Structure 1
Amino acid sequence: MCACSGKQIEKINGVSFVGSPERASQAHVDAIVSINADYASVMPYGFIREPDTPEIIFDTDRQWFGETRMGARQYVELLHANGIRVMIKPHLWIWRGMFTGDMKMETEADWQRLEASYREFILNYADLARETGADMFCIGTELEEFVKARPAFWEGLIADIRERYRGKLTYAANWDEYTRTPFWEDLDYIGIDAYFPLSESRDPGLEEMRAGWQKWKTEIRELSLELDRPVLFTEYGYRSMDYTAKKPWLVDRNDERVNLGAQAEAQRALFEEFWREPWFAGGFVWKWFLHHPVSGGPGDNRFTPQNKPAEKVLREYYGRF
């Protein structure tokens, strides 16, 4: 659907379904259904030793089940059996958790090796998306230097994926990358991992965070209308801690004080600003673990909304839209 048609786009009320060492069970999916989610991203992984290493290692018996092809298939099939649509969203992990957006080769030969390795990795999962009838496929996650350095490769890769898979396509650009991504018009959605800074406050309130969205929202809307593509938050979320909206992308092990209310209000601000917009397609909260009863909780300062006030906010807005 045209992003600027003025019609209401059906919202994607999604969760980022974290790969586990084990198979998913019906109880794991029941928890997703209970918050009115209707979409999940399934995230198989490939691994790279260093940011300048051209070889991607994937689908090995040393990985967790949910991060492999077999595991992704089992997750997709179970989610589909429950009426939940699926985006297959392959990720790369660089040793020690280094940022994938900085991945950059030193020589032309290494760039070509990386291209060959990435093509094998991503087409493997595009084939899985076709085989399982996945509803959407994400061609990459936060790979700015790779995209910037090798635009012709990405153009060809998208064409190759289209030949294999007929569903919707997106790319998960980091929040400070998406305006420079060159191939949005070749995809169906402008995908953004939406960790935009909104407030410097320790304990920001709802209106402060809504105000913090305004400049970013204007930029996002303008790009959507210019390119005639709806915007999808391929990831969104906040940690349940003080200063949650200052640098929402932080994944460190800091011991900031748990702040459940700030996380809940940050999510509410995002829903209030975006979910009614006709050019906005919805998003996938980061992140949702299989074992719901023991995930998150009142002492946890990490991203998951599970067993926190933020879960009630999700249930409310996902039920509303």
Structure 2
Amino acid sequence: MKFIKGFTFAPFAKRGSYMRKEAYKSLDNLVERVGVNFIILVPNGLQDTPQSEEICYTSNSTVSDEELEAMIYYAKKKGLRVALKPTANCKNGTWRAHINFFDEDVHCEPKWSKWFEAYTAFQLHYASLAEKTGCEMFIAGCEMVMSERREREWRKLISDIRDVYHGAVTYNTDKYQEHNVKWWDCVDVISSSGYYPLNDWERQLDRIEAVVHKFNKPFFFAEAGCMSTQGSSAVPNDWNMEGDVDLKEQAEWYETMLKACLRRKWISGFVMWDWASNQYSLNRAESNKGYDVYGKPAEKVIRKYYDMVVADR
């Protein structure tokens, strides 16, 4: 697999976000400043709670198909490979990993069967769009931890996706879950979220390597990132971390992560989290505490390592 030097671009964007000139300028900046060859776009599907059986992807909380298609075509004109990752989220703020139902369907209770019907419709809508626009990869969801034990349903979903989309198919599992997914054999690529503590990369990579060798599939980190908030390098997945701005700590996390990963020949790339469609002015970069790397030392670290990697490594 061609090495992925990527970023997630403007995830969960609201309707109209991709129609603004600022979004296209932001993508230009990403290419010019970081040297990416790959982006992931993340259409937003919303359900009310973790136990809701309906998923909405046609409201103003989700970019329209027309603007999504236009952004895909623009990215491809710039020489980027594009993946779509339609992702379900909960309106009440509960993290999607906690979407869960009884293992057995129970009368008058919300059911896995109904939820997978809705989730399949959601995925197939965007799989068809990915086929139409020539996206190089389709990612059938992200960090749906409690659902991953539903092996039969996931295998059926992947099969249904292949009926309408003919590129590479993967699924983005969460950190620490790579070894728990039993159905990696039915996708083309294994991918996960690499939010591992600064001092734990080698141990986690050893664990993931065993999974990759077992299934004999390519692997990449479909998400990876760390906020520029003091203490975030120890819990990079905690987006609610409070503390002072620490640009050096963020840069150190990326340096450690990239150096450790690039020693492992089985890792086929990274898609960092994330690059906004409407960026802050560069003079505000030093006060930004988020995952953004625009104008921060971490941006230069990523660029340095991306420039070091031969695309067909």
Report deviation, 1:275.
2.5
* SS of corresponding position for 1:241: coil
Q: Which position in structure 2 is the counterpart of 1:94?
A: 90
Runs of 4+ in 1 over 3 A off after TM superposition: none
Residue deviations 1:166-195 (CA, integer Å, cap 9, x gap): 111111100022211121111111111111
Q: Percent identity?
A: 25
CA distance in 2, matches of 1:71, 1:277: 38
Q: Which position in structure 2 is the counterpart of 1:201?
A: none
Q: How does 1:54-73 map to 2 (within 5 A)?
A: 54-60=53-59, 62-65=60-63, 68-73=64-69
Q: Which position in structure 2 is the counterpart of 1:134?
A: 135
Q: Indicate which of 62, 79, 83 corresponds to 2:79.
A: 83
CA distance in 2, matches of 1:58, 1:132: 19
TM-score in terms of structure 1 length: 0.87
Q: Which position in structure 1 is the counterpart of 2:261?
A: 274
Report deviation, 1:277.
2.6
Residue 291 (structure 1) aligned with residue 278 (structure 2): yes
Q: Indicate which of 300, 306, 313 corresponds to 1:318.
A: 306
Report deviation, 1:72.
2.1
Q: Which position in structure 1 is the counterpart of 2:197?
A: 197
CA distance in 1, matches of 2:225, 2:302: 11
Amino acid in the other structure paired with 1:28: S
Structure 1 window deviating more from structure 2 (223-232 vs 102-111): it is 102-111
Amino acid in the other structure paired with 2:88: L
Q: Which position in structure 2 is the counterpart of 1:206?
A: none
CA distance in 2, matches of 1:223, 1:156: 22
CA distance in 2, matches of 1:156, 1:96: 29
The answer to whether the 8 A contact 1:44-1:69 is kept is no
CA RMSD of aligned residues (A): 1.7
The answer to whether the 8 A contact 2:178-2:208 is kept is no
1:294 to 1:93, Cα distance in 2 relative to 1, 3 A: farther
TM-score in terms of structure 2 length: 0.90
Unaligned runs of 5+ in 1: 2-9, 199-208
Q: Indicate which of 195, 208, 222 corresponds to 2:210.
A: 222
CA distance in 2, matches of 1:278, 1:222: 13
Q: Which position in structure 1 is the counterpart of 2:155?
A: 155
Q: Which position in structure 1 is the counterpart of 2:9?
A: 17
Amino acid in the other structure paired with 1:110: K
Q: How does 1:98-247 map to 2 (within 5 A)?
A: 98-106=94-102, 108=105, 110-148=111-149, 150-198=150-198, 209=199, 212-247=200-235
CA distance in 2, matches of 1:306, 1:173: 26
CA distance in 2, matches of 1:214, 1:260: 23
Residue deviations 1:259-307 (CA, integer Å, cap 9, x gap): 0011011111111111243211101110101234537711011111111
Q: How many residues align?
A: 296
Amino acid in the other structure paired with 2:9: F
Amino acid in the other structure paired with 2:6: G
Amino acid in the other structure paired with 2:304: E
CA distance in 1, matches of 2:184, 2:281: 39
Amino acid in the other structure paired with 1:227: F
Q: Which position in structure 2 is the counterpart of 1:263?
A: 250
CA distance in 2, matches of 1:284, 1:271: 12
Q: Which position in structure 2 is the counterpart of 1:31?
A: 29
Q: Which position in structure 1 is the counterpart of 2:39?
A: 40
CA distance in 1, matches of 2:165, 2:186: 14
The answer to whether the 8 A contact 1:14-1:40 is kept is yes
CA distance in 2, matches of 1:84, 1:256: 36
The answer to whether the 8 A contact 2:45-2:62 is kept is no
Amino acid in the other structure paired with 1:169: V
CA distance in 1, matches of 2:170, 2:281: 32
Report deviation, 1:151.
1.4
Unaligned runs of 5+ in 2: none
Structure 1 window deviating more from structure 2 (13-22 vs 154-163): it is 13-22
CA distance in 2, matches of 1:276, 1:36: 21
CA distance in 2, matches of 1:81, 1:265: 34
